[in-house]
Structures are given as structure tokens and as C-alpha cells.
Amino acid sequence: MFQKFLKKIVESNFFYRFIVFAILSSCFLVGWDAWDGLEHTKLPIKIIDKVLIFVFVFEVLIKIGSEGRNPKRYFNNTWNVFDFIITLICVFSLFPAFSAFRILRVLRIFRLFSTIPKLQLWVGAMLRSLPSIAYVFLLLIIILFTYGAMGVYFFADNDPFHFGTLPNALLSMFRVITFSNWTDIMYHNIYGATAYPEQVYRIDMPDMVPNAPQAMGWLAAIYFISFVLICVFIILNMFTGIVLSAIQEMRVELEEEAVKKSIEKIIGDKEEVINNLPRVTPDDFELLSNQLTDIQNKLIQFKVLMLENEHETTNL
């Protein structure tokens, strides 16, 4: 009975909103505590912070208690384990011996991931898509390295600042991916360093002065445009597709988990009804057997009467 009461508390909207409010308040207090010039508010903040930590401990205890005789089921949920670890860190931070744990209080904001279902969907989708994203990232590195090496070969004499060495070339190609004034790099190599000087060459950097300014024309245009098309529009779209696919898989998984919880709840209610039924004794079985025998005898008598009536009707 007490377990059912705790379960209703955990599943209530008030409890959910109260915990979200406590998490947001705790994050606000962490930021307020780090604000300089507010020393006079330190003591009230510490008191409220301790109260909120006890609220989180109370939440964990209620959720564990709602599992009844099988508290291990609380730890079957990954998000519950995540909440438990963060709450444990918060409790340790109260003791002077673990004062270093206070810096980890900023992790409380991540508890919103386990509290808000929509955030669970997105975080779960990102984690699920990491293996596939790793392969796409490897492909991106290969393309970046290939274009960087080609850039050193084609543009080192005209543009040593961006393509004088392989590391500089890789940084320049990363700048192209981010669209940070990437057209200046492209035009500088299309028209040549003399015709299109960039701001960086006005600085006193003798090593970065072009050795042989040369307009690369269509070669530079094809080089940069093809890189943008491949990396920005194709590779990034692959990232997007992987994440969207993971979101769909995660949504299906969450729906299946919700259905599973509903079934477990129905089964639990049914077991409770069965447990509340009166127990059947051997005397009850004997009484039931006698009643069934009486019913069977009456049915036989009724069948005999029907046959006799049918026979009389036929003779008439």
C-alpha cells in the first residue's frame, strides 16, 4: 500500500514540476555563488543550497521506495543512475574533506536531461549516433587532409600565409568550412597575391610574403567550390541525416518503454486484485463440486423430460 502511495507521488505532475523547479533553482544558486561582489548573500545561498541537496536526496529515496520490494529496479534505468551519481556528488560536497567536489555542482544542470523527456530524446539520439558520426568524421578528416596537401602543392608560392605549410593549410580549410571570410582566401588565389592582397600581408611578416604571386584562376575556383560542396553540403548533411535517424530510433524506443511501463502497471494492478481475492479452502472446493453435481443431475433430468415430451408428440 505504501509502495503504491509513493508511486503515485513519483508519477504526479506536481512532483515532476517541483523537481524541475528545484534543479533550475540549484543551477541559479551555483551561478549566484560564483558572482563577485555578493559576499553578503553567501550565507543564505549556502543554506538554500543545502536544503535543495536534501530535496534531491528525498527524491532519490522516494523513487527507490516506489519500487517496493525490488529497489534494484531503480538502477535499471540509466537516467536514474545518472541522477543518483550527481546527487551523491552533491552530498559529498557538503563535507569539508570533499570540498573539491563543490566545483562539480555545475553538473546539476545536466539533471534536466533525465527529468525532461524531450531532452532525453535528443541526448539519447546524439549518444546513439556517435558510432556513425565517428565514421563520417573520419571521412571528413581524410578529405580535409587531401585538400590541405593539394593546397600546399598548388598555392604555397602565391599564398604562404594560408598554404605555406600543411598545418596552415589544414587551418585554412577549416576556416573555409566555417564560412569565416573564406571568399577572401579563394579570391586571393584566383586573382593572385598582387591583384587581391589580403589584410594579413600588410603585417610585418617577412616569412609570409608571397614568393611568386600567381593567379591560379579556374583551378583555385574549382578547388574551393568543390571543397565547400563536398564538406559543407554533403558531409554536414550526412551528419544531419544520421542524427535524424537516431532521433527516430530513440523515439520508437521511448514509446516502447512507455508501453512496457503501462503493461507492467496493468499487470501490477491485476496482481494486486488477485492478491486481494478471498482464499479458496478445501471446503469451498467440495461445496463447489457438490453444486456442479446438482446442476449436472438437473440437466440430465431436464434432458429426459425433453425426450419424453418429444416422444409423446410423435405418437400423437
Given this model, what pLDDT does residue 268 score? Answer: 59
For the whole model, what pTM was predicted? Answer: 0.58
Same domain flag for 201 and 103: no
Same domain flag for 104 and 127: no
Dmax over CA atoms of the chain, in Å, equals: 133
Task: Please check whether residue 261 lies inside any domain of the structure.
Answer: no
Same domain flag for 61 and 130: no
Given this model, what pLDDT does residue 42 score? Answer: 66
Task: Please check whether residue 271 lies inside any domain of the structure.
Answer: no
Task: Please check whether residue 168 lies inside any domain of the structure.
Answer: yes
Task: Please check whether residue 295 lies inside any domain of the structure.
Answer: yes
Same domain flag for 161 and 195: yes
Task: Please check whether residue 207 lies inside any domain of the structure.
Answer: yes
Same domain flag for 47 and 167: no
Same domain flag for 235 and 296: no
Task: Please check whether residue 259 lies inside any domain of the structure.
Answer: no
Average pLDDT, consecutive stretches of 10 residues, N- to C-terminus, the chain (316 residues): 78 85 82 63 76 87 83 82 85 73 70 76 82 88 92 86 88 88 86 66 55 79 91 84 84 78 66 56 70 80 75 64
Same domain flag for 202 and 302: no
Which residues are CB-neighbours of 82 under 8 A, at least 6 positions away? Answer: 110, 111, 113, 114
Domain range for 146 = 120-251
Same domain flag for 207 and 288: no
Cα–Cα separations (whole angstroms), residue 7 to 12, 22, 266: 9, 20, 14
The DSSP call for residue 107 is G
For residues 28 and 248, what is the distance between their CA atoms, to the nearest angstrom?
33
What's the structural domain count of the chain? 3
Domain endpoint, select from 251, 272, 298: 251
Measured torsion, CA atoms of residues 13, 14, 16, 21, in degrees rounded to the nearest 10: 140
Same domain flag for 228 and 143: yes
Task: Please check whether residue 30 lies inside any domain of the structure.
Answer: yes
CATH classification of the domain holding 206: 1.10.287.70
Identify which of 22, 17, 15 has the alpha carbon closest to the alpha carbon of residue 48.
22
- Cβ proximity of 219 and 105 under 8 Å: no
Same domain flag for 110 and 151: no
Same domain flag for 178 and 208: yes
